[in-house]
Amino acid sequence: MKGFFDNLGFFASRFNQAIVITIELSIISLIAATIIGIIVGLVNTSKSKSVIMKILKAIANLYIYIIRGTPMLVQILIIYFGLGQMLRPTGFRWLNIGGTFTAGTVALSLNAGAYMAEIVRGGIEAVDKGQIEAARSLGLTYGKTMKKIVLPQALRTMLPSIINQFIISIKDTSLLSVIGLTELTNVGKTIAATQSAHMMVIYCFMACYYLFICTVLAQVSKVVEKRLSYGK
């Protein structure tokens, strides 16, 4: 244990840098996933019978079906190795899909986006349909009805689930270690490889970082849920 504690400051510094990357990746992915979720959720809850909307609904349902029906690890490998390899010869170097951070962000965003879409759909459907009908009878368009009446109320229902999805996304970043992204798990594995005698201690040390972040977010979720319930 002496060798481990002698280097504890160095290990903590590496872990601190890695947790910043982990949180940054999670925040960017959650923002992108929220945008995807709102778009897909609105498409799925639309009452339009047009051909275009039917096609969009089919695409949205297929997207959700594929993402929720396949392991995230497989999705990461497809995006990083498969999609990255396909795009390189086409000249789309500006996308840099082969970069670990970009590929990780895309994978997390697409994965979380499918679950966010269901959160948005559930939040919208939780709003009393009578309010939507009243808004439409007053001449409000579908877009204005959603923007001014439905989404503000649905957000109250969705917020705890969105924070919970953020917690899940932070834990899911650990899967990105397979493509070499220097997030928390990958750094922990690298340190453990050089300190094999203290491997258990290092992994427990790494787990404490995840536990701390997730505990803080879980408490935030409880506070938000309590305040929203009080507001009702």
Domains defined along the chain, listed by start: 2-231 (1.10.3720.10)
**CB of 7 within 8 A of CB of 86?**
no
| Phi, psi dihedral angles at 7 (to 5 degrees) | -105, 15
Instruction: State the Cα–Cα distance between residues 177 and 18, nearest whole angstrom.
Output: 11
Which of the pair, 72 or 8, is modelled with greater confidence?
72
CB 104 within 8 A of CB 175: no
- Which pLDDT does position 95 carry in this prediction? 47
pTM (2 decimals)?
Answer: 0.82
CA 70 vs CA 64, 105, 139: distances in Å:
10, 18, 43
User: What pLDDT, in 10s, does the model give residues 140-193?
Assistant: 777 788 778 888 888 888 888 888 888 998 999 999 998 888 888 998 888 888
Which has the closest alpha carbon to 33: 194, 213, 158?
158
Q: How far apart are CA 40 and CA 34, in angstroms?
A: 10
Chain position carrying tokens 């040390």: 205
CA distances 209 to 9, 19, 23, 104, 185, Å, are 15, 8, 11, 20, 10
**Rounded average pLDDT over 67-80:** 92
Per-residue pLDDT, averaged over 1-24, amounts to: 77
**45-61 per-position pLDDT tens digit:** 887 788 998 999 999 99
